[in-house]
Copies of this chain bind each other. A is one copy, B any other.
Amino acid sequence: MRITALAGGVGGAKLAHGLAQLLPPEDLTVIVNTGDDFEHLGLYICPDLDTVCYTLAGLANPQTGWGRADETWNAMANLARLGGPDWFNLGDSDLATHIERTRRLKEGQTLSQVTRDFCAAWGVRHTVLPMSDQPVRTIVETEEGELPFQEYFVHRRCEPRVKGFRFEGAEVAEPAPGVREAVESADAIVICPSNPWVSIDPILATLTPALSLKGRGNIVAVSPIIGGQTVKGPAAKLFAELGIEPSALAVAKHYRNLLTGFVMDAVDAELLDGVRGLNMRVCVTNTLMRSLDDRMQLAGEVLRFIGETI
């Protein structure tokens, strides 16, 4: 069974990691959000892409879910000493990724070429693709005006109240090489438990209209909201500020008309009828991924759920 997964950062990376344990390399492609990418300290930084690659490579920090395991922080400590902008924390090992990627991009390589080479160097055998080689930038519309995503997310710690989002460049950005093939040849698309507004929507906006998923069939999403809360990140807060009660049902509604199946946590079993009412099949299971076993268990459930309908 060939699976193409759409993923943002930590939650998406964890499910992708679980899927990678169960599927051979040729049967899994992960298309990653690049709407969070930004230039900082002269470096081209791709937070979601790196989180997915580090996780698949077994290099990720198991505590934070992002960044590198066994990391040191001497560059940042010394940048702070010099009064430099230290609000976006970059570990020493991680810095190499940004430095070398920036160097290669300036040389004229594309982001997908760089990602492929880095995956090879890190021993990632499944395919990881940026959603596009052209820039798409998630802009957060807040009550204090528009903010670039990392400015909102990291520097301002998601404090400004959100009114909406736009994905600058999504209309003109082309899906990266391999994205069309991965979508068209997949037996199913898995939308990972990533933030719907700022991790998955930028991918969907970039694929549309050239590669719209609407009406495609066999699209399954895993809810990033469990018991009304997010495991990590601001998804629940975003729902609330946009006037929607944060819940697995709200996630299902967000993707309505797109999904054929929805995977949600057992703690949300009371929402089962509500989600079924959206005309999608539902799988209720444990979706919290605390260990590698959890990741594999959830990935197995997702694959079984998909298998039931193919």
Contacts and interface: CB of A to CB of B under 8 A. Distances in A.
Contacts of A100: 41, 79, 82-84
A290 interface: no
A74 B99 contact: no
Interface in A93-148: 93-97, 99-100, 102-103, 106, 117-118, 121-122
B41 A81 contact: no
Contacts of A81: 96, 121-122
A92 B74 contact: yes
B82 A121 contact: yes
A93 B78 contact: yes
A78 B97 contact: yes
Given A75-B75, A81-B121, A121-B81, A95 B95 contact: yes
A76 interface: yes
A206 to B, nearest CB: 26
Given A78-B93, A79-B96, A93-B78, A84 B72 contact: no
Copies of this chain, whole number: 2
Nearest to A71: B74
A71 B85 CA distance: 21
B99 A72 contact: no
A77 interface: yes
Contacts of A121: 81-83
A93 to B, nearest CB: 4
B92 A79 contact: no
Contact of A102 (B42, B96, B117): B42
B117 A99 contact: no
Interface string A154-166: 0000000000000
Contact of A74 (B42, B72, B79, B118): B72
Given A75-B92, A77-B96, A82-B118, 12 more contacts: A41-B103, A42-B106, A74-B92, A74-B96, A75-B75, A78-B93, A78-B94, A78-B95, A81-B121, A82-B117, A84-B99, A84-B103
Interface of A: 41-43, 71-72, 74-79, 81-85, 91-97, 99-100, 102-103, 106, 117-118, 121-122
